[in-house]
Amino acid sequence: LRDNRIELVRASWHELSISVSDVSLSDEGQYTCSLFTMPVKTSKAFLTVLGVPEKPQITGFTSPVMEGERMQLTCKTSGSKPAADIRWFKNDKEVKDVKYLKEEDANRKTFTVSSTLDFLADRNDDGAVVSCRVDHESLNSTPQIAMQVLEIHYTPLVKIISSNSWPEEGQTIILTCESKGKPVPEPVLWTKDGGELPDPERMVVNGRVLSISFLNKTDNGTYRCEAKNPIGRNSTEYVLIVHDVFNTLLPTTVIPSLTTATVTTTVALTASTTTSAAATSIR
C-alpha cells in the first residue's frame, strides 16, 4: 500500500497496524496481511465503505399557494451507499402516502434517492412545517432533515358574535364580525336587509364591531357582515329580533284596617196647611 493517507501505526513481530484517513469509496475492497514464513501465511478482510448521503433538499414549493391547488414537494439526496431511506412528516406526524425513487449515480457505487409528497393545499396547512428526513446507517442514528414552512392563501371565514342573546327595547346590542383569512381581510362591510344601515346615529360601526343603541322594533331585520381579501370574499348573516320589555309584577301586601264612614242624608221638608187645623205641624 502506497498512499499518503495510509499510516503505519504499529509494527512488531506480533502485530502490524495501519490507519487510513479521509476514507473514500475507492478504499473499499479486500485487504491482505502476509507473514513471510515458509510457507507464507496470509489473512484477508473485506473493507466496506459507506457512502454518506448529502444533506437533503426540498424542491417544488412556490410561495404562496392558493387553497385547492395541488402541491408536489420533492426531497432528494445523493451519494448514499447503500441507498438511503426518506420519510416525510407534517408537523411531526408522518405522512405515509408518498412516492419513492432510487437511481444509481454515475460512479455506479452510490445512489440518488428522491421522494415526492403530493397533496391538495388546505387552509389548515397554512403555517405547517413539512420536513423530509433521511435515515442512513452512516449517520449514526442522527438523521439529516430538510424543512419547509407552508404558506397557504385562502378566502375569509366569517362569523358574527352577539353580545346579547335576548335583546329588548331600549337596550344596546354589540355585533362583532370575526373574519379569518390570508392575506388578512380588509375592513368588513355591514348592511341591513341588503342595504345601508338606516340609522347611523344609533348604528355605529367601529372596525369589525357594529353597535346599536336604544333598540326598538324598527331595528328588526337581517344584518350581514362581508369580508374580502385578494383571494375572494365571504359573508354571514344575523337575524335581529327586538323583544318587548319584560315587566316583572311586584308582590302586593294587603293590610287590613278599620274604616269609619260618615253618611249625610238630606231630606226635603214640606209644610202642609189644612182648613180644619189651626196649627202646622212639621215632622
Domain boundaries defined on the chain: 6-47, 57-150, 155-240
Give the separation between CA 38 and CA 50, rounded to whole angstroms: 37
pLDDT of residue 186: 83
Does this chain's domain 57-150 share its CATH topology with 155-240? Answer: yes
What is the arithmetic mean of pLDDT over 147-172? 95
- Would you give the end-to-end CA distance of the chain in angstroms? 168
pLDDT of residue 63: 85
4 is written with which cell numbers? 499518503
What is the arithmetic mean of pLDDT over 151-171? 95
**Is the model's pLDDT at 275 over the cut of 50?**
no
Give the separation between CA 146 and CA 237, rounded to whole angstroms: 45
**Is the model's pLDDT at 1 over the cut of 90?**
no
132 is written with which cell numbers? 423530509
Confidence of residue 174 (pLDDT cuts 50, 70, 90): very high
**Is the model's pLDDT at 9 over the cut of 60?**
yes
pLDDT of residue 277: 40
pLDDT of residue 75: 97
pLDDT of residue 278: 40
What is the arithmetic mean of pLDDT over 227-241? 95
Exposed / middle / buried, residue 146 (Cβ in 10 Å: 0-12, 13-18, 19+): middle
The DSSP H or E segment spanning 90 is strand 85-90
What is the arithmetic mean of pLDDT over 197-218? 95
**Is the model's pLDDT at 254 over the cut of 90?**
no
**Is the model's pLDDT at 269 over the cut of 90?**
no
Confidence of residue 35 (pLDDT cuts 50, 70, 90): confident
Above pLDDT 90, what percent of the chain? Answer: 77
**Is the model's pLDDT at 211 over the cut of 80?**
yes
pLDDT of residue 279: 41
**Is the model's pLDDT at 213 over the cut of 60?**
yes
Exposed / middle / buried, residue 4 (Cβ in 10 Å: 0-12, 13-18, 19+): exposed
pLDDT tens figures, 51-106: 999 999 999 998 889 999 999 999 999 999 999 999 999 998 999 989 999 999 99
276 is written with which cell numbers? 180644619
Buried b (16+ CB within 10 A) or exposed e, 190-203: bbbeeeebeeeeeb
- For domain 57-150, which CATH number applies: 3.40.50.300, 3.30.70.270, 2.60.40.10, 3.30.465.10? 2.60.40.10
pLDDT tens figures, 11-20: 888 888 999 9
pLDDT of residue 258: 54
- For domain 155-240, which CATH number applies: 3.30.70.3040, 3.90.1150.10, 2.60.40.10, 1.20.1250.20? 2.60.40.10
**Is the model's pLDDT at 283 over the cut of 50?**
no
pLDDT of residue 37: 85
Confidence of residue 252 (pLDDT cuts 50, 70, 90): low
Give the separation between CA 81 and CA 93, rounded to whole angstroms: 27
